[in-house]
Structure 1
Amino acid sequence: MTYKVLIADDESIARDILQKQLQKYPQVEIVATCKNSKEAFTAIEKHQPDLVFLDIQMPELNGIELAKSLDTEKLPLIIFVTAYDNYALQAFEANAIDYLLKPFDKERFDRTFQKALKQLQLANKEDLTNVFDKYSKFFQQFAQPNYPEIVTVKDGGRIQLIKTADLIYIEAEGNYICLQTEKSKHLLYETLSSFEQKLNPKIFVRIHRSTIVNINFIKEIQSHFNGDYSVLLKNTKVLRMSRNYKENLIKN
């Protein structure tokens, strides 16, 4: 029996390696190789493959979001291709989802493919729907919030585009917040708490009721006798950190 296989990965080297590994299996027909999720979704609808090698980290729509959008009536078996660390891999294992960790060797690929092959040989559509049910916990665990990479600020008749990664710190100023970058300062009509919800908490940390800082720009932290702290930035700017927010920075 021949099984239709689709490869979706935005890295050409990864696509080539997967193709090369699959070519030694005569029961495999590679029906499509796709470089993004949009191409993959269209190809899956068209070819209805039995097995998909699906990269997780792709632009626009990632592999997880793509898998969630598939029709469960036409669901292929999915092997996620990932560069996630060991903690992430434990979640794959716990939910009985197979994966290939980049970079993978021939032995790892063969074990993964043989496991998938056995499932395909035994599976019917009902079984594959059950497999998809097992994916659901994985989707919930791994779906990452989409934090904006760009902040827009109106400046008179212009709209300024500011990279979130360039924000050094954000301070509350009355009904506004001040966005400070290395080269400029911008006022935005928004509360600090509201703006904080848009920021990645692993990078942006509240150190005071009126201040959020990008930890990538912190040089050192200095303690004071009263229990408060000073946060010295790489540009020599000093910010006050309240003792009530110390844990926010330490846990990062």
Structure 2
Amino acid sequence: MQIKFQEDSSVSPENPTVIVKAASKQAQTLDILQYLEHFAENNKTDIIPIKAIDQIVMVKSKSIILVDIVDNPLLIYTTNSVLQTKETLSHFGEKLNHDHFLQISRHAIINVDHLLTLEDSFSGNLTAKLTNDIKTSISRKYVKSLMTFLGI
């Protein structure tokens, strides 16, 4: 693989153009393209505004451990606090970087960077132990996608 840099003053420094040249789309070329796509997605802002009861709180997505619906409010467990909002799980999930967050049940999304252990639970479910001693259940419907996500 060759790597070259070509300076072009007509290209915006905030939005560079990357061109990958290859004879065909082989596995290595596809890996490079996928890496560049993920780099572009991860380079987006890391701050997520959360409309809490009486304020809007700016939260770094890396600090979010678990997003869970309990009764009606959506609870967002972070490394520092627990925030409550009236937002829906699906709408909030769209704001999250899908490289780190995964839905594990109809009512919860976890940040896999905060996943510590998985244990067998009742009737095919798993129990996930997360940072800050937070535990949540992974429904059996989502176990396969979690294992695929983890490469297991």
TM-score by length of 2: 0.71
Which of 54, 57, 67 is matched with 1:170 structurally?
67
Aligned residues: 134
**Which has a greater percent of helix?**
1
Instruction: Give the counterpart letter for 2:68 in structure 1.
Output: E
- Between the aligned partners of 1:200 and 1:172, the Cα distance in structure 2 is 19
Instruction: Give the counterpart letter for 1:183 in structure 2.
Output: N
Which of 186, 195, 207 is matched with 2:104 structurally?
207
| Residue number in structure 1 paired with 2:29 | none
| Residue number in structure 2 paired with 1:194 | 91
| Residue number in structure 2 paired with 1:93 | 22
Deviations 1:6-61 (A, max 9, x none): 62xxxxxxxxxxxxxxxxxxxxxxxxxxxxxxxx7xx32xxxxxxx8x9xxx7xx3
- Between the aligned partners of 2:84 and 2:146, the Cα distance in structure 1 is 25
Which of 220, 228, 235 is matched with 2:132 structurally?
235
- Between the aligned partners of 1:157 and 1:165, the Cα distance in structure 2 is 23
- Between the aligned partners of 2:23 and 2:146, the Cα distance in structure 1 is 31
- Between the aligned partners of 2:121 and 2:132, the Cα distance in structure 1 is 21
2:50 aligned counterpart, secondary structure: strand
Which of 191, 198, 216 is matched with 2:113 structurally?
216
Q: Which runs of 4+ in 1 moved over 2 A?
A: 141-148, 153-159, 173-176
Does the CA-based 8 Å contact 1:207-1:246 persist in structure 2? yes
Does the CA-based 8 Å contact 1:205-1:212 persist in structure 2? yes
Instruction: Give the counterpart letter for 1:149 in structure 2.
Output: D
| Identical positions, percent | 25
Deviation at 1:195, TM superposition (A): 1.2
Which of 8, 16, 39 is matched with 1:63 structurally?
16
Instruction: Give the counterpart letter for 1:63 in structure 2.
Output: P
**Does residue 141 of structure 2 align to residue 244 of structure 1?**
yes
| Residue number in structure 2 paired with 1:184 | 81
Unaligned residue ranges in structure 1 (runs of 5+): 8-39, 45-51, 65-79, 82-90, 97-137
Unaligned residue ranges in structure 2 (runs of 5+): 26-32
Structure with greater contact order relative to length (CA < 8 Å, sep ≥ 6):
2
TM-score by length of 1: 0.45
